């Protein structure tokens, strides 16, 4: 069996890494089967799907850790995990990093918003001081058990303090020793280029593609040409599923049958093939007691 690259090894390559958003083991399994080299566990998507609520800091450490553990048990590709603010102060960050690392995270993202945070593409964000965020990042780096577990520092300062301040915060976070940078909600191609010019040669820089968000949507090829090394599409999965379910439920309510949707859904055997039911049952038969 050929061993897959660790995330750290993969990011040493010059080509951009595209990581789609996932929110549970089923979405992760389907994304892995599509051939992606890494997946992004979106905190927003956990709020959308587990709580039916907005991304405004309602999810907890235990909810994300539990979701992460269930996904990492099911797929082999590296997982980038949204840890929001670390769910508290520096000591909370240490607990978060240790817990997420045990649960299978390859990269843990921490942001500099105050608690409760909100989606990076919503208005009204507030920030912790740079010194406080640096303390949390140093705590994260100290808490990890393996150097293969990467720490991603995100700043939301652009919407609050402007581009120059956001770049200075990213500089300070890089000096702490983090492995990658994420400047959230860059608002124009010019701002995207400014971030890449300053940081692309020094650390992997992440681009966040949010449909209807603040940052211009570009392809993986376009983002890679600018100098980004990671591109995430975090909430697209939940938005696609929500759109599909709106149509499915509306049709079922109106028609009283799933017949109009049969060509747009898996049947019983199709779903079982996707999730590996025949293989699982065959494995179970290997443990049957014979007289």
User: For every one of its 291 residues, what pLDDT tens digit does the chain have, with 9 covering 90 and above?
Assistant: 344 689 999 999 999 999 999 999 999 999 999 999 999 999 999 999 999 999 999 999 999 999 999 999 999 999 999 999 999 999 999 999 999 999 999 999 999 999 999 888 888 899 999 999 999 999 999 999 999 999 999 999 999 999 999 999 999 999 999 999 999 999 999 999 999 999 999 999 999 999 998 999 999 999 999 999 999 999 999 999 999 999 999 999 999 999 999 999 999 999 999 999 999 999 999 999 876
3-state secondary structure of 275: helix
pLDDT of residue 291: 67
**Gap between the Cα atoms of 285 and 282, Å rounded:** 5
**Gap between the Cα atoms of 244 and 193, Å rounded:** 35
pLDDT of residue 123: 86
Q: Which domain holds residue 134?
A: 7-241
Does 263 fall in a domain?
no
Does 143 fall in a domain?
yes
Domain count, the chain: 1
In the block, which residue shows the tokens 């949507």?
Answer: 217
The CATH number of residue 122's host domain is: 3.20.20.60
Q: Locate 281 and state its tokens.
A: 């049952």
88: alpha, beta or left? (left if phi > 0; alpha if psi -120 to 50) = left
Handedness of CA 271, 276, 280, 281 (dihedral sign): positive
Q: Residue 76 burial (CB < 10 Å; 0-12/13-18/19+)?
A: exposed
Does 280 fall in a domain?
no
**Gap between the Cα atoms of 51 and 47, Å rounded:** 5
Q: Locate 280 and state its tokens.
A: 């699982």
Does 137 fall in a domain?
yes
pLDDT of residue 2: 44
The model's pTM is 0.95
Does 127 fall in a domain?
yes
Alpha-carbon distances, residue 193 vs 163, 222, 232, 255 (angstroms): 12, 11, 17, 51
Does 157 fall in a domain?
yes
Contacts of 11 (CB under 8 A, 6+ apart): 17, 150, 179, 180, 204, 229, 230
pLDDT of residue 120: 81
**Gap between the Cα atoms of 81 and 221, Å rounded:** 23
pLDDT of residue 124: 87
Backbone angles phi, psi at 127, to 5 degrees: -120, 150
């Amino acid at each position: 069996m050929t061993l897959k690259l660790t995330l750290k090894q993969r990011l040493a390559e010059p080509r951009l890494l595209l990581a789609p958003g996932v929110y549970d083991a089923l979405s992760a399994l389907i994304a892995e089967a599509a051939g992606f080299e890494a997946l992004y566990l979106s905190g927003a998507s956990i709020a959308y799907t587990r709580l039916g609520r907005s991304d405004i800091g309602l999810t907890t450490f235990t909810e994300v850790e539990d979701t992460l553990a269930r996904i990492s048990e099911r797929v082999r590709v590296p997982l980038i995990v949204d840890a929001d603010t670390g769910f508290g102060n520096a000591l909370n960050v240490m607990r978060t990093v240790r817990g997420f690392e045990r649960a299978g995270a390859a990269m843990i993202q921490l942001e500099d918003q105050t608690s409760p945070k909100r989606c990076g593409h919503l208005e009204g964000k507030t920030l912790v001081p740079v010194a406080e965020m640096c303390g949390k990042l140093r705590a994260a780096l100290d808490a990890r058990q393996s150097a293969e577990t990467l720490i991603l520092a995100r700043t939301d300062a652009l919407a609050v303090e402007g581009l120059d301040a956001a770049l200075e915060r990213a500089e300070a976070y890089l000096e702490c020793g983090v492995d990658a940078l994420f400047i959230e909600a860059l608002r124009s191609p010019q701002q995207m280029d400014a971030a890449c010019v300053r940081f692309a040669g020094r650390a992997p820089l992440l681009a966040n593609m949010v449909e209807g968000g603040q940052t211009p949507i570009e392809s993986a090829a376009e983002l890679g040409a600018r100098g980004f090394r990671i591109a995430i599409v975090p909430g697209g999965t939940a938005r696609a599923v929500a759109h599909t379910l709106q149509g499915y439920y509306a049709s079922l309510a109106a028609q009283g049958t799933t017949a109009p949707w049969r060509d747009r859904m898996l049947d019983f055997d199709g779903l079982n093939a996707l999730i590996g039911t025949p293989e699982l049952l065959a494995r179970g038969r290997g443990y049957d007691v014979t007289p």
